[in-house]
A and B are shown apart, each in its own frame.
Chain A
């Protein structure tokens, strides 16, 4: 299992488009990928799940992956978020 914690920096948090991009990226990996915010855990491959976290700028979230490409998944999502989700 791989995991990393990151603070969301982009202005609109994980709003519609950023959330969709993140879900798209998560979908590229075979591993199970979870997003966790304040103890609430959702499937990162589910747009509805990600939307339900209602992530705003400044929120701390954890990316957790389990599976063959877990490390790649965590790194991929982390760099996408760091790039500002554009």
Chain B
């Protein structure tokens, strides 16, 4: 045993999992730019041209790798970068100024980049404003190349590396090679984009370690616990052995759960809980099926709108919906109608900026006000429904008239299609997403109008607790395990049971295996989550006795705060 002492640093657990690996610093340097006069403008122009061509090579390579690993959508960021390097107003302008001002390429590159980025940032349009960061990225890359230094080369990362950084942008995370053990950063919160990417990629992440992270040196051994939110720096042999043992145990549990992922989740006393997957695009279908999804509990249709530069046509939507329904081969597929507006912007939609987007003109509100857009989607759904078990779900419903209006539009579309001689689904279910407290409180009234309800805990939590989890100052208040949220869940389940319709859950809470017993006890009959957690949640369900779960949930509802609820949930019955 060595005599070193393990250094424990605490941060925020942003993506679960325990990992051991070797630290590699992901350094982003911005060289100091000096202004020099030059006499040979030809040579200076050649230096710039060389840097530009190297930057193009790097970006093309990044584009290719990213498209392969994360899809065309993520790769698109590099197209924007590449187009700037061909732009006369950017590189062209730099060349002009070198001739006119007889100054070094670095100072001119820096000045032009600043001007362009300020220009873009000042445009009255969020899409253009976002390009300001892109051009700054490109400018930094050029400056690094001019200085003779190289940007961080992701190929330095090996399987088993722990990526250490001040902060990581999504475009950085997009370049991670496979097999990264963990990522740790000084800044960033659980809801940072990088954290979401880490969870998608299944990489344990500890963020927000602060200045203490500077103690970490390249090559140091690091244990990272992305669940609890700590790292151990240069652990002693004993600590390391303990962590390795725990990793092995967790892996065995995962393997075990995965082996039984294809089987139903039935409680000890024979009650079946349906475990569905949340999917965001066609790419997620295969993973969902491999992990044992018995259906789709939430198909977010936004990607169809976000990945396009025009309102997706009926035919485009129909093809996509049909593919998902066919892939799930007669099992339920809950498709949520467009949830856009508020904070989710569409470049081509020109949505007005709102003071308070989450309380604004979004989702069903937007759709009922833009009937043409809504009807295009409803028609596509009615046509696709022929090919499977389609459940249509309306988001953000707040009162009964919205449901009635949406249903009337659906009927109108059906009539239109019949007149046109187009086949529509004979049987489909229509339901709502319960994510506004008003909907949960009046679930008994809404239940009379629908075939099913699904609780979206992310929005329900933020609305009930009046806490924006993206706001670091109040993020600690945001916890779906708050008794207030759970009481609304219970109330909704009771209303569903009385009306004889199923109530499910598709928010993040549904995929928390530590809460499974409480959720079953609250009366949910379907839980929908990201594919990766399905096997584990199924295993949890198998260990539950529904009578005990009911008592446990009753007890949880009387706790004073989320922490107490979680303690109760962890102990189990």
Interface residues of A (CB under 8 A from B): 11-12, 15-17, 20, 42-43, 45-49, 51-52, 54, 86
Q: Are B89 and A42 in contact (CB under 8 A)?
A: yes
B247 to chain A minimum Cβ distance, whole angstroms, is: 45
Known pairs A11-B350, A15-B347; A54 contacts B125 (CB<8 A): yes
Q: Is the pair A49, B350 in contact by a Cβ cutoff of 8 Å?
A: no
Give CA–CA (A54, B131) in the complex, Å: 13
The docked-state distance in angstroms from the alpha carbon of A32 to that of B90 is 17
User: What sequence of 0s and 1s flags, for each residue 84-106 of chain B, a beta carbon within 8 Å of any chain A beta carbon?
Assistant: 10011110100000000000000
User: A20-B83, A51-B120, A52-B119 given. 13 additional CB < 8 A pairs?
Assistant: A11-B348, A15-B125, A15-B348, A16-B347, A17-B309, A46-B88, A46-B92, A48-B84, A48-B135, A49-B87, A49-B88, A49-B89, A54-B125
Are A52 and B123 in touch, CB under 8 angstroms? yes
Across the interface, A51 reaches (CB within 8 A) one of B131, B310, B348, B350, namely: B131
The reply to whether the CB of B124 lies closer than 8 angstroms to some CB of chain A is: yes
Q: Kindly state whether residue B127 has any CB partner on chain A within 8 Å.
A: yes
Q: Which residue of A lies closest to B127 (CB)?
A: A16
Given the complex, which residues of B lie within 8 Å of A49, measured CB to CB?
87-89
Chain A residues contacting B90 (CB-CB under 8 Å) are 46, 48
Is the C-beta of B201 less than 8 angstroms from some C-beta in chain A?
no
The closest CB in chain A to the CB of B84 belongs to A48
In the bound assembly, the distance between CA atoms of A12 and B350 in angstroms comes to 7
Smallest CB gap from A27: residue in B: B86
Q: Roughly how many angstroms separate A47 CA and B348 CA in the complex, as a whole number?
A: 17
B349 (CB) vs chain A CBs: closest residue: A12
Interface contact tally, CB-CB below 8 A: 53
The answer to whether the Cβ of B525 comes within 8 Å of any Cβ in the partner chain is no
* Of A11, A12, A17, A48, the contact of B87 (CB 8 Å cutoff): A48
**22 CB < 8 A contacts A-B:** A12-B347, A15-B125, A16-B128, A16-B347, A17-B309, A43-B88, A46-B87, A46-B88, A46-B90, A46-B92, A47-B83, A47-B89, A48-B89, A48-B116, A48-B135, A49-B87, A49-B88, A51-B123, A51-B128, A52-B89, A54-B124, A54-B125
When C-beta atoms are compared, the residue in chain A nearest to B310 turns out to be A86
CA distance A48 to B125 in the complex (A): 14
On whether A46 and B128 interact (CB within 8 A), knowing A12-B347, A12-B348, the answer reads no
Tell me how far the C-beta of A66 lies from the nearest C-beta in chain B, rounded to whole angstroms.
15
Cβ distance A53 to chain B, nearest Cβ, rounded Å: 9
The majority secondary structure among interface residues of chain B is: helix
Which residues from A are CB-within-8-Å of B116?
48
List of A residues within 8 angstroms of B125 by Cβ: 15, 54
User: Which of B87, B127, B135 has its CB near the most chain A CB atoms (within 10 A)?
Assistant: B87
Q: Please tell me if the beta carbons of B89 and A43 are within 8 angstroms of each other in the complex.
A: yes
Residues of B within 8 A of A12 (CB): 347-348, 350
Minimum CB–CB distance from A55 to chain B (whole Å) comes to 11
Q: Which B291-322 residues sit within 8 Å CB-CB of chain A?
A: 309-310
Give the residues in chain B near A43, CB-CB below 8 Å.
88-89
- CB contact under 8 A between A54 and B128, given known A48-B90, A48-B116: yes
CB 8 Å contact bits of B343-374 with A (1 = contact, 0 = none): 00001101000000000000000000000000
- Distance A11 CA – B309 CA, assembled complex (angstroms): 12
Bound: A33/B309 CA distance, A: 26
Q: Which residues of A contact B119 (CB under 8 A)?
A: 48, 52
- A24 CA / B123 CA spacing, docked (Å): 22
A48-B80 Cα distance, complex, nearest whole Å: 11
Residue of B125, B135, B347 most packed against chain A (CB within 10 A): B125
Point out which of B127, B128, B135, B347 has the most chain A C-beta atoms below 10 A from its C-beta: B128
User: How far is A51 from B124 in the complex, measured between Cα atoms in Å?
Assistant: 11
Q: Taking the nearest CB of chain B, how far is it from the CB of A21, in angstroms? A: 10
What residues on A are CB-neighbors of B127 within 8 Å? Answer: 15-16
Contact between B347 and A46 (Cβ–Cβ < 8 Å)?
Answer: no
For the complex formed, measure the closest distance between the CB of B56 and the CB atoms of chain A, giving whole angstroms. 16
Instruction: Tell me the complex Cα distance, A31–B87, Å.
Output: 16
Complex contact A54–B88 (CB within 8 A): no
Chain B residue with Cβ nearest A15: B347
Chain B residues whose C-beta falls within 8 Å of the C-beta of A20 in the assembled complex = 83
What string of 1s and 0s marks CB contacts (under 8 Å) between B101-130 and chain A? 000000000000000100110011101100
Given the complex, which residues of B lie within 8 Å of A48, measured CB to CB?
Answer: 84, 87, 89-90, 116, 119-120, 135
Chain B residues within 8 Å of A15, by CB: 125, 127, 347-348
CB distance from A85 to the nearest CB of B (A): 10
- Which residues does chain A contribute within 8 Å of B135, judged by CB atoms? 48
Closest beta carbon of chain B to A57's beta carbon, Å: 8
